Chain A
């Protein structure tokens, strides 16, 4: 068949791209793209201040304010740390989970949000299995909405706590971040990038501080187009070569619940991408090893690496509470002349 030839290309004026009115509420945190570097710096600073503040004065900050945790997916770390963070500030929290609420009876996200609002809830922390759900909830309620993970899309507080973890190791004491704060730092993210909201939030945040994000994984779990998601992102299929260039290694879990029929040979996967003690000591003996959890020991990383001296996995969890205190405080004080 002859290659069909299109008519000569003309320079055509086409309709404008739409402009976004999100976020509607200045306290919302839907995406890391909502945060400019001064706001990131403010959150990092407040995280440290709140962490060291006397619990008896800290709980006056949001005393008796009402915050709902609306969870459509199971969660250990994120839910508990948001809840502890909110309670540390004195807020009343209530958990609504899809398995024990009217969501099971078919109530929509919009109606659930409006119901919580009518109950006096002032901010909603949402974990949802559909990408984009926090945008819908915010649009319908106009409440501060904190995205605690939406489908395969974003998990902004995870990226902030990961940033705090990285800074504590590579730039100790730094809380005011600038476009060159992480210059020269390569952050390697390995594994199921396609289904990972943690990867997306990190790859959209860290390059804005000067880091390079290297994505590594098989084509099935890491499409080439991932490199076009933003500036400072590259794709490298050779795990060991990538390890050798990186100061930070984030390992990801294979999200079996999102594979949607995809067939994956786990033995082959482990051969190519499992972080073993051998690989780590040979190629990245000084790198910080991170993982958003839950970890599957013996799959994406060995038990030895998870428990090893280079592992910062439990530090990440600890940073989570501090970061979420700062984010929750901002949710209820931003745009009101408070500590925005």
Chain B
């Protein structure tokens, strides 16, 4: 395999505690050597990337994406979704199992990782917790794990039955997998298409109460408490309500292994952004109140939030050009996450760059136990993002590498432009116009 040198860059590796000018040698898909500027020992014959003025960091990791394969290739494919990931600085993504058919088997889990899928970056499948994600009968977690699954979930189809959720938590812990829950008591959200409250009332739309999320998070935490097994790991997906964040914060104080992620749209937007029925502001969980949005920001700043995850959910344009109530849930997110995090979390709300990057790499890697990812320590996978942290730019959905353009961030100002994304030593993305 090839050898690659990244020279004159400023390395920020929060996992390894590095924040200094460094040159990096990548060899055979791994980090081979890190040294001060001009100090690499074995630099002969390698391709050199000049990272002057740029930040070099571990490749970003998104633990919540929908790649739509198998079965929904008109929305996205593993190839196009991971191309968007690479453009956004991501070198690993964890793919949700709500495919068609549902990824509830080792066969599909392996199929998703096959070279024929043409992935630009590493894809980690997440297996369905129950057969067909119907919430009735749990899958063979050992077999899913052996096939490469890194967690189990019935994302989009929350496990409502206490007994099944308890069994899922226990069985997953037994084989060392995390359980990711899309927390929504669907008995409280029938026919609803946005957050419950005055705006839903005014728009004549049925609302999803915040309690639909928080009550299920509280139920799940109670089950974790009752199991009294330190291996049990509950991860709350796309947390959107103040009450759910509070529940996670309390569970952590009680010493439980409960983690959570927040999506950029939930720490940036509110239900007001639905505007006059903008279907690109429709997702599940929905955009919430300003108080909930503020609680997401506080949770990120004070550290209760463990990861930023995009919930990248591509849909074909025609699928979103329908009545609001009939439009599918979800927005894309892979190409906008870094730009939004740097623009808002870092520049506006003063979260140190290292912590922003940690929420996008080291922490999600640790959360799902992704060995050799999320850090650039020697021996790790050569997964890097090289970006200009100061560059401001405008995101245009029409230029996306994803198949889909369903984003509320079209035309938004971003900060931090990706120059190169390197996946296991290969250049997976290179900006067309060098700055």
Contacts and interface: CB of A to CB of B under 8 A. Distances in A.
A128 B325 CA distance: 12
B305 to A, nearest CB: 12
Nearest to B248: A4
Interface residues of A, number: 42
Contacts of B204: 131-132, 150-154, 197, 200
Interface in B67-121: none
Contacts of B272: 17
B7 to A, nearest CB: 37
A6 B203 CA distance: 31
B323 A132 contact: yes
A135 B190 contact: no
B198 A153 contact: no
A152 B200 CA distance: 10
Interface in B298-329: 298, 301-302, 318, 321-326
B298 A1 contact: no
Contacts of B294: 9, 12, 14
A158 to B, nearest CB: 14
Contacts, number: 107
B277 A131 contact: yes
Contacts of A229: 198, 201-202
A228 interface: yes
Interface string B240-276: 0010001101100100000000000000110011011
Contacts of A14: 268, 290, 293-294, 297
Nearest to A137: B323
Contacts of B275: 18, 20
Contact of A4 (B190, B247, B277, B412): B247
Interface residues of B, number: 43
A110 interface: yes
A170 B250 CA distance: 59
A128 B323 contact: yes
B349 interface: yes
A132 B324 contact: yes
Contacts of A130: 323-326
Nearest to B303: A7
A109 B323 contact: yes
Given A7-B302, A229-B202, 14 more contacts: A4-B253, A6-B295, A12-B294, A12-B348, A14-B294, A15-B268, A20-B275, A20-B276, A132-B204, A136-B321, A136-B323, A151-B205, A152-B205, A223-B201
29 contacts: A4-B246, A6-B295, A12-B348, A12-B349, A14-B268, A14-B294, A15-B268, A17-B273, A18-B278, A108-B318, A109-B322, A110-B322, A131-B203, A131-B205, A132-B203, A132-B204, A132-B324, A136-B322, A140-B321, A151-B204, A151-B205, A153-B205, A194-B201, A200-B204, A223-B201, A225-B198, A229-B198, A260-B190, A260-B206
Interface of B: 190-191, 197-198, 201-206, 242, 246-247, 249-250, 253, 268-269, 272-273, 275-278, 290, 293-295, 297-298, 301-302, 318, 321-326, 344, 348-349, 412
